[in-house]
């Protein structure tokens, strides 16, 4: 009897663990800029799934009222058509693109005319690392005593920023501590450790327009010369670029430890570095003293957190960056990350960040942090790209398509990510030519790259 009870308990615990893993891994990531979709969904009802798709794509979705499905699929890097067939199973659907305005998706069991129920695009629940809070404390605060007071373990720390990552036993304790820490006089700011959206994957192409990799000569830089900008590229790892371009890369920094090198394809960080070098070449006439400091904030997966990005910002500042580029983001505003970014800007560092690819007018962070130059994307001269975010927080619009190279292979990368990298390169390249102040360069760029009316 005792052995039978132990067996039943173990079976229940294993089932509970499996359920917890499934719940924790539910995700769907829709890269509208590259038409690539990845999903890991277990037991998701139809309407919440369609709400998620509508939020990420900006589509207007209508569904037949009686349509029902429980989705249990896992796939990676499919086209939107193949992804919809996997996600919707035996349900019928019709995708109707629009030339002026959002595209339409109809989901039905009988005929398309019966797909009459609109799917809302309410904002998704904030995504954050389970049981963790980021906290910045006032100088002189005993962080160990503070953590003990609220029942937390310190699992990450940056004493220079007085910033710490606290971990709690469960989500209820985390939520309760957040409220208490917000009212603690020793705390400057506190928030969840938010998960950032994955970056878009560059796609290999057989033939790329243009003359190949940028032809750029490095003018010998002088340390601490304000006319020699250093761009802190806060992104994924940057590979060896070849074609004489590695001389523009400073020794890389990683805030996530040693990560296995990516081979066989180009990383997002490498694509952004190449995009910057193209822009620097255009702005400077083919020679520049600008250098790029790669700061890896992504581990072996394709997502990062506001904690890692905050560490990346400080690592870039410590490494001498005078320009920061963050071609990354999410919908959740971390007050702690905002503090770190604004502290960097207070030192005269300018910041560019991508506005997002949803396309909606709601803010994306860190682009929407006050003082950050939020960059959206053009699909054609004077036209906002169909995937690009817009809104009052956006400062400039630059080309959203970049062709880059790794070895002999050409790649295309689309989105507000390359638009932001392009802006960073234009700003830095311009400064090396005339050594103008940022107060002159940024208004001139805003005038040259205005945001088209939606």
Question: Is the pLDDT score of 34 beyond 70?
Answer: yes
pLDDT at 41: 84
- 84-90 long-range contacts (CB < 8 A, ≥24 apart) are 86/39, 87/28, 87/39, 87/41, 87/49, 87/53
Structure tokens at 161: 């920023």
pLDDT digits (tens, 9 = 90+) for 322-355: 999 999 998 899 999 999 999 999 999 999 999 9
How large is the greatest C-alpha to C-alpha distance in the chain, in angstroms? Answer: 85
Question: Is the pLDDT score of 115 beyond 70?
Answer: yes
Q: How confident is the model at residue 1 (pLDDT cuts 50, 70, 90)?
A: very low
Q: How many alpha carbons lie under 13 Å from residue 223 in its C-beta half-sphere?
A: 3
- For residues 140-166, give the mean pLDDT: 97
Question: Is the pLDDT score of 123 beyond 70?
Answer: no
Closest CA to 116 of 187, 183, 59, 63: 63
Q: Average per-residue pLDDT in the chain?
A: 88
pLDDT digits (tens, 9 = 90+) for 379-415: 999 999 988 999 999 999 999 999 999 988 899 999 9
- CA distances 253 to 370, 371, 399, Å, are 26, 25, 28
Contact criterion met (CB below 8 Å) for 426 and 396: no
Quote the pTM value.
0.77
Provide the H-helix boundaries in 285-392: 306-318, 335-345
pLDDT at 126: 64
pLDDT at 179: 94
- Angle between helix 416-434 and helix 438-448 axes, rounded to 10 deg: 130
pLDDT digits (tens, 9 = 90+) for 56-77: 888 899 999 889 898 999 998 8
Cis previous bond, 359, omega within 30: yes
- 436-440 long-range contacts (CB < 8 A, ≥24 apart) are 438/348, 438/350
Contact criterion met (CB below 8 Å) for 292 and 276: yes
pLDDT at 19: 33
Question: Is the pLDDT score of 199 beyond 90?
Answer: no
CA distance 291 to 310: 21
- For residues 236-265, give the mean pLDDT: 93
């Amino acid at each position: 009897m005792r052995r039978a009870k132990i067996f039943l308990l173990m079976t229940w615990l294993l089932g509970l663990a499996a359920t917890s893993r499934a719940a924790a891994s539910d995700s769907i990531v829709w890269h509208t800029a590259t038409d690539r979709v990845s999903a890991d969904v277990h037991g998701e009802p139809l309407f919440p799934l369609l709400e998620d798709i509508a939020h990420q794509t900006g589509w207007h979705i209508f569904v037949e009222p009686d349509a029902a499905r429980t989705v249990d699929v896992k796939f990676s890097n499919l086209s939107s058509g193949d992804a919809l067939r996997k996600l919707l199973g035996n349900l019928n659907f019709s995708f109707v693109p629009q030339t002026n305005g959002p595209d339409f998706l109809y989901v039905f069991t009988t005929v398309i005319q019966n797909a009459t129920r609109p799917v809302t695009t309410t904002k998704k629940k904030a995504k954050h690392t389970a049981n963790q809070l980021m906290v910045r404390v006032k100088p002189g605060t005993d962080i160990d005593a503070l953590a003990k007071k609220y029942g937390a373990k310190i699992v990450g720390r940056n004493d220079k920023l007085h910033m710490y990552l606290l971990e709690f036993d469960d989500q209820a304790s985390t939520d309760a501590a957040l409220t208490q820490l917000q009212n603690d006089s020793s705390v400057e700011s506190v928030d969840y450790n938010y998960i950032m959206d994955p970056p878009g994957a560059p796609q290999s192409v057989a033939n790329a327009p243009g003359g190949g990799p940028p032809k750029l000569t490095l003018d010998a830089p002088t340390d601490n010369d304000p006319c020699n900008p250093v761009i802190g590229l806060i992104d994924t790892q940057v590979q060896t670029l070849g074609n004489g371009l590695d001389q523009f890369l400073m020794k890389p920094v990683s805030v996530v430890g040693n990560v296995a090198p990516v081979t066989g394809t180009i990383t997002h960080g490498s694509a952004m570095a190449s995009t910057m070098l193209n822009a620097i070449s255009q702005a400077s006439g083919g020679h520049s003293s600008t250098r790029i400091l790669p700061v890896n904030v992504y581990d072996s997966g394709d997502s990062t957190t506001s904690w890692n990005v905050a560490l990346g910002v400080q690592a870039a500042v410590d490494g001498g960056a005078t320009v920061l580029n963050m071609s990354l983001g999410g919908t959740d505003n971390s007050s702690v990350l905002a503090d770190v970014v604004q502290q960097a800007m207070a030192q005269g560092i300018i910041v560019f960040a991508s506005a997002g690819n949803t396309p909606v007018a709601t803010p994306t962070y860190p682009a929407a942090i006050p003082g950050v130059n939020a960059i959206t994307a053009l699909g054609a001269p004077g036209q906002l790209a169909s995937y690009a975010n817009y809104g009052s927080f956006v400062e400039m619009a630059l080309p959203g398509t970049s062709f880059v190279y790794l070895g002999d292979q050409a790649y295309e990368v689309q989105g507000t990510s390359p638009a932001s990298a392009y802006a960073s390169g234009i700003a830095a390249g311009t400064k090396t030519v005339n050594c103008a102040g940022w107060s002159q360069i940024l208004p001139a760029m805003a005038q040259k790259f205005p945001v088209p009316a939606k």
